[in-house]
């Protein structure tokens, strides 16, 4: 991805996740939070502290985006999903969060 394209799409990025708006949103605000490390399915997660921390971090980033971009909205919907991201053809475990 070119840097200009990335600046328009990526809403949040750190060493664990990349978050961006869904290109086909089903709500006013609809974000996808994808782990940097490729995780094909939920079955690939283990009962390890690192995995609990990652899933929790995914939720925290999603909630932070909703609070920042739609602060007056009180309800949100969260689902963990397996999906093909628009920039990738492989399946990825991801968090979808929307208001």
Span 21-74, pLDDT tens digits:
888 788 888 888 889 988 877 777 888 899 899 999 999 999 899 889 888 877
Return the pLDDT at 39. 83
Return the pLDDT at 27. 82
CA atoms within 13 A on the CB side of 57: 17
Q: CA 98, CA 16: separation in Å to the nearest integer?
A: 20
User: What is the number of domains present in the chain?
Assistant: 1
- Answer whether 77's CB lies under 8 Å from 16's CB: no
Three-state secondary-structure class, residue 4: helix
Question: Which of residues 80 and 57 earns the better pLDDT score?
Answer: 57
Q: Containing domain of residue 92, as a range? A: 3-98
Return the pLDDT at 53. 94
Return the pLDDT at 13. 87
CATH of the domain at 64: 3.30.428.10
Contacts of 89 (CB under 8 A, 6+ apart): none
**DSSP-assigned letters across all residues of 16-80:** SEEEEE-SS-SSSSEEEEEESS---SGGG--SSHHHHHHHHHHHHHHHHHHHHH-TT----EEEE
């Amino acid at each position: 991805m070119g840097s200009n394209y990335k600046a328009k799409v990526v809403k949040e990025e750190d060493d664990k996740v990349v978050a961006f708006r869904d290109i086909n949103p089903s709500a006013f605000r609809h974000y996808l939070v994808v782990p940097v490390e490729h995780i094909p399915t939920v079955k690939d997660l283990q009962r390890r502290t690192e995995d609990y921390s990652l899933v929790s971090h995914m939720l925290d980033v999603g909630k932070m985006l909703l609070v920042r971009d739609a602060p007056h909205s009180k309800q949100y919907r969260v689902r963990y999903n397996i999906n093909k991201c628009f920039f990738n053809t492989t399946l990825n475990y991801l968090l979808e969060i929307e208001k």
